[in-house]
Chain A
Amino acid sequence: MNVTNILFTFVVLILIGVVIRYVITKNKNAVVEQEIDVDDKTYTIEKMIQFVKKRLDEITKVNLYDIGLSEEELKRRKAKKYELKKALKGCTYGDVNDKKYVKELIYDLLYKEYGVTEVNISKSIPFDVPSLLTSQDKFDILLYMYKKDFGYEALTQLIKKYNLATLKYVAGEAKPCYVITKEEIDEIYEKENLVLSFQDKLNVLVQRIYQHYKGYSSIDEIRDMNIDGVSGRSIRTSRKFLKSSCTNRWRLFKSNYRA
């Protein structure tokens, strides 16, 4: 009887050992970081926005007490998480510094985690085929490149250089008005003949994602410029850029820019 008991205990212990070993091996091999499934739509702007939203949610909502950090590290991580949360909140109110911080984070997420490269970036915005670029793409690229050189004076410089603040007659309008047309943007883009590095392309893409996710859509970059203001109207026919008569700056008046 005793021998049977000992044998039985021995078998049970071996079984427990095997189970524990199996669980440990399984956990070791478990892939925590899910690989991103690459298909035709992976590198579209919509998918990237979804990814950025999900990742920022994960970062800001993680329970730091579950990770098992040291006291010192926990303090730092809490401070960093708070800083990010503050920036995510602040950027929705148009704070340019918070916007810059959030954009840097999106840049890192896309470059380091999502695997955006020189090759696949063109699936989101066709940088290499100018004929496929929309007028908004072209305007975003132009504004980004001008911003690199002139900072917040980029829009003013662009308007000055191409003398865009002139009265024009537009089809369907009886009176002449101040307007920047699609054709003008296309023409300027062609004249500028810009050469974009991968960083430039990714920055343009990051701005596009940001403006849909946290920013002010298509006017997001324009409203940061040194201008008197941006005004939007729902009546589509009255989208105009008007020059301020009393200052040297430019004012977006009664406009709801759509490139």
Chain B
Amino acid sequence: MAIISFWSGTKGETGKTASITAIATFLAVQHNYKILILDTKYNDYSYQDCYWQEDKTISLIHKQDAKTNIASGITGLSKAILSNKTSPEIVTNYTRVVFSENRLEVLYDTDVPKEDYDTYKKVFKDIAKIASRYYDLVFVDIDSNLDKHTIDSLLEVSDIIVPNLSQKIRQINNYIAEKQNNVILQKKLIVPLLGRYDKNSKYTIKNVSRYMKEREKICAIPYNTLFFEACNEGTVDDFFIRFIKINPKDKNAFFIEQVKNAAERIIYKIQELRMRM
């Protein structure tokens, strides 16, 4: 249905992965959408660390299983797509499940040779497009290290672009300059987002929005100790199930409130996009 790309113009720590994880998990718990997260990073374990605790003891049954399995993850899917197997249902066969019934799945790859990655990064755009025919929301985590051509092709197919910023004035200035020069950013729906947000900084949501001359307040995903611990321990799903109905006086309430705000803004933009069409 919709492709939402999280992108950062600079190679800095903007908390992109954490922001996607928070928003996608929140939406999966709160709504009844079919959601996919597509990770474009090379051999990255971030999403694995967020959702699964790896069992280091490989049992006999798993050894046998590995022997009878075909390649999974992005590598397996890109091979199928390059062989013109492009039915939308095919994507789900290569993902890893967080919530069953396609509520939340992650498509990523680890332990892939560089040559394979160089081949399959050409089909990221196709994967996103095919997946959007099956899933309601496809969140794409665009790696800043990708070449310009691949990044542009992903931004081009996106319905909504979420530029990830940090509370650094240089990065905000860079984004403002990029927005003026980049044609793709000008024609797409944009939801700017501050990652790892610290509400005690002078670069508050209100100040940054005013500085960027945004009509609406921009979104933010605050830094939250419990959430970032959950991101390392593979318990993000449990975290959201536990805190989804939180007491407003709780110290974690601000985090949940901001995630909810960002998620609802994205849903609102999707509805706006549908109205335009």
* B85 sits at the interface (CB 8 A): yes
B64 touches A79 (CB 8 A): no
CB-CB under 8 A for A97 and B85, given A67-B61, A67-B65, A104-B79: yes
**How large, as a class, is the contact surface on chain A?**
20 to 34
Asked if A41 lies at the interface with its beta carbon under 8 angstroms from chain B, I say no
Secondary structure class of chain A's binding surface, majority of residues: helix
Question: A27 contacts B60, CB within 8 Å?
Answer: yes
**Cβ A83 vs Cβ B60 within 8 A:** no
Is the C-beta of B69 less than 8 angstroms from some C-beta in chain A?
yes
User: B80 near A: Cβ within 8 Å?
Assistant: yes
**Nearest B residue to A76 by beta-carbon distance?**
B93
With A and B bound together, what is the CA distance between A209 and B204 in angstroms?
Answer: 63
Within 8 Å CB of B84, what residues of A?
97, 100
In the assembled complex, B245 has its CB within 8 A of some CB on chain A: no
Number of A-B contacts (CB under 8 A): 62
Does B100 lie within 8 Å of A72, measured CB to CB? yes
Q: Which of B65, B79, B94 contacts A101 (CB 8 A)?
A: B79
- Whether B63 pairs with A87 at a CB distance below 8 angstroms is no
Contacts of B61 in A (CB 8 A): 67-68
Distance between A4 CB and nearest chain B CB, rounded to angstroms: 40
Q: Could you tell me the distance between the alpha carbons of A73 and B62 in the complex, rounded to whole angstroms?
A: 13
A128 within 8 A of B: no
Q: At the interface, yes or no: A39 with Cβ under 8 Å from chain B?
A: no
B interface, over-half SS: helix
State the CA gap A73–B60 with chains docked (Å). 18
Across-interface contacts of B225 in A (CB, < 8 A)? none
Task: Give B62 Cβ to nearest chain A Cβ, in Å.
Answer: 9
Q: Are A83 and B68 touching (Cβ within 8 A)?
A: no
Whether B67 is near chain A, meaning CB under 8 Å from some CB there, is yes
CB distance from A22 to the nearest CB of B (A): 15
- Whole-angstrom distance between the Cβ of A100 and the nearest chain B Cβ: 4
The answer to whether B67 touches A33 (Cβ under 8 A) is yes
The yes or no answer to A133 lying at the interface (CB within 8 A) is no
Inside 8 A of A77's CB, which chain B residues have their CB? 69
A199: chain B residues within 8 A (beta carbon): 115
From B67, B71, B115, residue with most partner A Cβ within 10 Å? B67
Query: Would A87 and B67 be within 8 Å (CB), given that A30-B60, A72-B97, A80-B93 are in contact?
Result: no
List B contacts of A104 (CB < 8 A): 79, 82-83
Residues of B within 8 A of A58 (CB): 67-68
In the complex, whether A137 has a CB less than 8 A from a CB of chain B is no
B230 interface contact, C-beta 8 A:
no
| Interface positions of B (Cβ within 8 A of A) | 60-61, 63-71, 76, 79-80, 82-85, 89-90, 92-94, 97, 100, 115
